[in-house]
Amino acid sequence: MLDGNLDSRADRLNDRYRHHAAIDVLRRAVSDPDLGRVALVSSFGAESVVLLHMVSVVAPGLPVLFIDTQMLFPETLRYQREVSARLGLTDVRVIGAGDDSVARHDPDGTLHKFSPDACCDLRKTVPLEAALSGFDAWITGRKRFQGGQRLSLDFFEPEPPARLRVNPLAHWRAEDVQDYMIENRLPRHPLVAMGYPSIGCAPCTSPVKPGEDPRAGRWRGSDKTECGIHFIGGRIVRGKVPA
């Protein structure tokens, strides 16, 4: 039975693994009784292959949840299939909003234009919350160097009311990510070479110019910086889709 106090569990895990390398945090996290049932959530984006490769080494049967928003780049969908096969990941679960929900809230596919938060909630947050209902913790690829709300990330953080998040790469630098990909000869997302260092849905992602922040191409021209799945509790702060 898991300890119901999320904060104490997160503190205990951070103390236990504070000096461990990322792959050791991942290896131990998938079997630590303080975490329970664990899944990896992956966008199969620009840097996702690092964690996916680590999972293929330590636990290739770990559930991997991939959210198909129905607005992703075709290159991302192809990359997801190719990487999954190449790494031998045996439990990749493609999830997404139901047809009825999309028809009700975004029948013409334009919700992202006037309420990107509501669109993310419909196509990402709600489907992910449903998929994670069977898990006690989930693994993310977030890192401190990405800035914003991620500057103070720990390996383990509470997600009320009942889940933990695991961030094995929290302390990595941008150079560490690139070095790992080179050393392990991992395939790059094809859009990276076209100026997309951070990749989301096609309508809300644009190329980044030299010198810009790597995430400058996400929701360009707005103050939005996160899709919502990384807010505490998995809830969008603004623009909630009506019930």
Question: What CA–CA distance (Å, rounded) separates 158 from 203?
Answer: 32
Nearest by Cα to 73 from 185, 205, 208? 205
Long-range contacts of 205-210 (CB under 8 A, 24+ apart): 205/73
Asked whether 122 and 102 are in contact (CB, 8 A), the reply is: yes
Torsion of CA 199, 108, 92, 37, to 10 degrees: 90
Q: Which of 119, 120, 201, 227 is catalytic?
A: 227
65, HSE (Cβ side, Cα atoms, 13 Å): 25
| Residue 204 falls in the annotated catalytic set | no
Instruction: Point out the residues that are catalytic.
Output: 227
